[in-house]
Homo-oligomer: A and B are copies of this chain.
Amino acid sequence: MRIIIDVMSGDNAPGELIKGAVLAAEEYSSVEIAVVGNEEVIAETAQEQELSLERITVIPSVSVIEMEDKALSVVREKKDSSMSVGLHALAQGEGDAFVSAGNTGALLAGATLLVRRIRGIQRAGIATILPFPTPVLLMDSGANLEVTPENLEQFAVMGSLYMEKIYGIREPRVGQINNGTEYNKGLPLQVAGYARLGSADINFVGNVETKALPTGVCDVAVTDGFTGNAVLKTVEGMGKFFSAQLKDLFMTSLATKLSAVVIRGKLRDFKRRFDASEHGGAPLLGISKPVIKAHGSSDANAIKNAIHQAMTFVNTGINYEIAAWATAFEEKLKAERLAADAKAEITAAEDTTK
């Protein structure tokens, strides 16, 4: 197995990215690690940090996609970027999975256009773990601002397979994010989504309100990318806010400062839970080969975790199951449309004979 890492993108590139790749190469001896980037920069950075590139393959690239760059730059002006070169390498079979901490829009566009979606999957989506005691996979968390009920069904199935295979959850509970739990709540999208999800081959638990997400009401929460993005970023902002408040709280007096020492470990766990680096990356589900979006602020450890996640993604063969399901889904859609056409024809014939 070979994992490709874009070491030029992200807030801490290239230093932490290269270090993460080297750590992974040392720890996971069964896989090959390939890094994409400027050869000179990589060599210099490794030397500075006294990292051995012995077990690392370098795939050379020229430019870097910045956060401000347009998504399509990955297939236009910046075809020679680390992200683009890495995705090309993945598409051409030079690796089994790709990890990048770069521009999310560009990564999704590049993955879709260069690596391609799984046949039958209409939209790939970003799946993010919300770090509650019972983790919740939020999908889509920002890739597709507008979606159809069919997209929601596909997100639900892909998200379920992911939580089953990666987190070992049997029959993951899927909820649809809505403004109330009743079946007829929400916009036309959610009403139609409820019907589709209810008849899909998943463990659908109905509509969920976002206030219930921290309490373990579901394992997978499906929604459009606009709402998903708003929810994800609210959780992120609240996590940071509470961490800061907690720090203030413990700086109040000598007694609290002492007690902060006593529960140092617990406080660290608390902070970590909302620290993205501990949760690895967000998979782009629906792409024909595993692509992991690591958080922009990833350090070496986060990158190593994202590489491990990519390995698990490959090993569990989720994509084969998604592909099998998507083929069946296409057939189901065809049948639904044929049935609808037939019904319309019968109605028309009846009208004529009247």
Contact = CB atoms under 8 A, between A and B. Distances in A.
A256 B267 contact: no
Contacts of A213: 234, 237
A148 interface: no
A44 interface: no
A255 B252 contact: no
Interface in A179-199: 179, 186-187
B258 A234 contact: no
A224 B31 CA distance: 48
A258 to B, nearest CB: 6
Contacts of A146: 187
Contacts of A233: 209-211
B237 A214 contact: yes
Question: Would you call the interface of chain A mostly helix, strand, loop, or mixed?
Answer: helix
Interface residues of A, number: 47
Contacts of A175: none
Given A187-B226, A215-B241, A227-B227, A263 B267 contact: no
A215 B241 CA distance: 8
Interface in A205-245: 209-215, 223, 225-227, 229-231, 233-242, 245
A36 B304 CA distance: 64
A145 B189 CA distance: 11
A322 to B, nearest CB: 26
B226 A211 contact: no
Contact of A237 (B211, B246, B255, B266): B211
A249 interface: yes
A177 interface: yes
A227 B250 CA distance: 34
A213, A241, A259: most-surrounded residue (chain B CB, <10 A): A259
Given A210-B231, A234-B234, A242-B242, 7 more contacts: A179-B230, A209-B233, A211-B237, A230-B230, A231-B231, A249-B267, A249-B270
Interface of A: 132, 142, 145-146, 177, 179, 186-187, 209-215, 223, 225-227, 229-231, 233-242, 245-246, 249-250, 252-253, 255-256, 258-259, 262-263, 266-267, 270
